[in-house]
Amino acid sequence: MREQFPVTRRYKYLNHAAISPPPLFVLEEAERYLRNVSELGTEEVNRIEEDDFRSMREDVAKLIGASWDEVAFVPNTSYGFNFIVHGLDWREGDNVVTDSLEFPTVVFPWLKLKRKVEVRIVKPNVETFEDSVLSHVDSRTRVVAVSHVGFNTGLVVDVKRLAREAHSQGALIVVDVIQSVGAVNVDVREMEADFAVAGGYKWLMSPQGSGFIYVRKGLLGDPPFYGWRTSKNFESYDATNFEIESGPRRLEPGTIDVAANLAMARAARFIKENSSEVLQAVNDLSGYANRRAQEEGLEVVTPMRKRAGITVVMAPKNSELSRHMLANGVVVSPRGGGIRISTHFYNTRGEVDEAVRLISQWVRRSGQ
């Protein structure tokens, strides 16, 4: 499979929590569509859209344990979160509970509601994350918003526990799964999520512009934004006759990035068909990175027993270090006060060894 990833010819690429280079078979899915549109125009477009993207929805839905009619396509995670923010009915005195370890996408959209809704940004630590979040949930909590996997800690959050407590208070749970889907098993039914959102360009190895939103049946029946595709009879092109579509297309007010989402559906299908091998390899490599860093005496932020594909290792001047590692052919990201190593299934232990060696040398030279 490494031959499917041209990036391996140039780099030891350990940066999938930022952007995954699409493998050739995913890239070819998008290219095939665009080339066919170039040659056939609307004939190809109509062929792909004739089932209202049901087959694409099914590929994503199977990967996350949902029904096809609970999945819609969004251009990015931020759009999905804003869709939820503006799609729910709010009451004066409601509150939203989230936390300071989140990627800003999970927090910032709720701030639009601040005049009416209290946004509680909890300051947790990795060891007691769930307890910290739940201590701020009460009967006026309308939403709990968290990431399944922390972008700057690598922590895998017990979403199911948070969901059950939130539901007992009458609240909904919104989960950012961008750092988990494709790296660990994601089952929205099992975790009892009400909403789940992800862009496709990280662990799903898909182009930027691809993404999905899962909406549990019965929620957002009347979406916050209307467009021509929101109409049940959208192909009539009649501006005087509007009836809301009941299926997932109601969440897609306009034209989606078909090529990017075809590619994402192809990647989702690959991961689902090879889930045991892919997810086991991600788990093994992140565990190896965690152990190797500790063996070198480095401080590891990511808990070994609650990890996905991310390992965060503390290091001074982390931005400078990441540039130094790039100059030595290793691609990582400075995150969380250190270096974030994020290994996908096709990486090797030798690549991890080189990353840890460079970090260890840097820390020793810095006298820490």
Cβ partners under 8 Å of residue 368, min gap 6: 315, 316
Strand boundaries in the chain, DSSP class E: 12-13, 71-73, 95-99, 118-122, 141-147, 172-176, 195-199, 211-215, 310-314, 330-331, 333-335, 338-342
Residue 94's alpha-carbon distances to 195, 221, 276, 359, in angstroms, are: 18, 21, 42, 45
pLDDT at position 115 is 81
Whether residue 206 contacts residue 174, with contact meaning beta carbons closer than 8 Å, is answered with: no
DSSP string, 241-264: ---B--SGGGG--S---HHHHHHH
Tens digit of each residue's pLDDT, the chain (368 residues)? 999 999 999 999 999 999 999 999 999 999 999 999 999 999 999 999 999 999 999 999 999 999 999 999 999 999 999 999 999 999 999 999 999 999 999 999 999 998 889 999 999 999 999 999 999 999 999 999 999 999 999 999 999 999 999 999 999 999 999 999 999 999 999 999 999 999 999 999 999 999 999 999 999 999 999 999 999 999 999 999 999 999 999 999 999 999 999 999 999 999 999 999 999 999 999 999 999 999 999 999 999 999 999 999 999 999 999 999 999 999 999 998 999 999 999 999 999 999 999 999 999 998 75
Residue tagged 């939820």 (tokens) = 84
d(CA 173, CA 113): 17
Which pLDDT does position 62 carry in this prediction? 98
The amino acid sitting at 78 is S
Report if pTM > 0.75: yes
pLDDT of res. 25? 98
8 Å CB contact between 163 and 193: yes
Q: Render 350-367 in DSSP notation, one character per residue.
A: HHHHHHHHHHHHHHHHTT
